[in-house]
Amino acid sequence: MDLGIKNEIYLVTGGAKGIGEGIVRALAEEGAIPVIIGRSPEVGKVLLGELEEKGLSGYLIHKELGTPESCKEVVDEVVSEYDKIHGLVNNAGVNDGVGLERGTPETFLESLHKNLYHYYYLAHFCLPHLKKTKGSILNISSKTAVTGQGNTSGYAASKGAQMALTREWAVELLQYGIRVNSIIPAEVMTPLYENWLQKFENPEEKLKDITRNIPLGERMTTKEEIASMAVYLLSKQASHITGQHLYVDGGYVHLDRALAGTDLV
């Protein structure tokens, strides 16, 4: 299937690691030009080098996304280099464990700053360019927004806001033909997830406790599976899909977890 995105320019925040890396690779393999945006320049350089070795294209921007000014600088650099923007993938963030009891009003605001504000900043500055291309915006959210997790108020609030903004922007941008969707992962093995697992006394047993509750296959979702959905939603093949929350989670959120481990799956 030709996704119709060859030579198109897509910004991917947090693009050097985890889900972002998977999306960058999938975009490049479809002939698009992913812009890897992140704060790990050495990791980003390795990823860009691997793409180029395969004859694929990409572009790297090392930037902290904490301020409107830094986000504008990212967009300005991309437009200066390529003159166009076809899509934005808002992905960067961290589950920082700022809870109601363990956190403070100050750390809660810091968590929103790290996980939410740059989603708006980048969409705002990309908008004039997305109007020209009738491009799309994809927000990577999390199941924590709909299930809760415990002790992560800032992250959960940010992810819930991202889902709300997906619908709000989809409505506002209908007039420009700009589509806005979100992907809701549940359990995906990323470097951040691996770091979280290592905090437990028995990480392997903790992982088994998690995967046995995932109905489809009792396994983690891969970053490649998230990336496949992401690239499809950004592409022309999804030209009549907007305002949607797509759960790529093996049935974790919506199916009865009692099904896991039975003959039904």
What DSSP assignment string belongs to 124-167?
HHHHHHHHHHT-EEEEE--THHHH--SS-HHHHHHHHHHHHHHH
Residue 157 dihedral angles phi and psi, to the nearest 5°: -65, -40
Which residue out of 59, 155, 247, 252 is catalytically annotated? 155
Strands 87-90 vs 59-62: parallel, antiparallel or unpaired: unpaired
Catalytic, 155? Answer yes
- Other residues' Cβ atoms within 10 Å of the Cβ of residue 64: 12
Sequence-ordered strand ranges (E) for the chain: 9-13, 33-38, 59-62, 87-90, 136-140, 179-185, 245-248
Distance CA 206, CA 130 (A): 43
Instruction: Report which residue type is found at 37.
Output: I
Look at the block and give the residue holding tokens 């979100």: 182
Distance CA 196, CA 96 (A): 10
Catalytic residues: 155
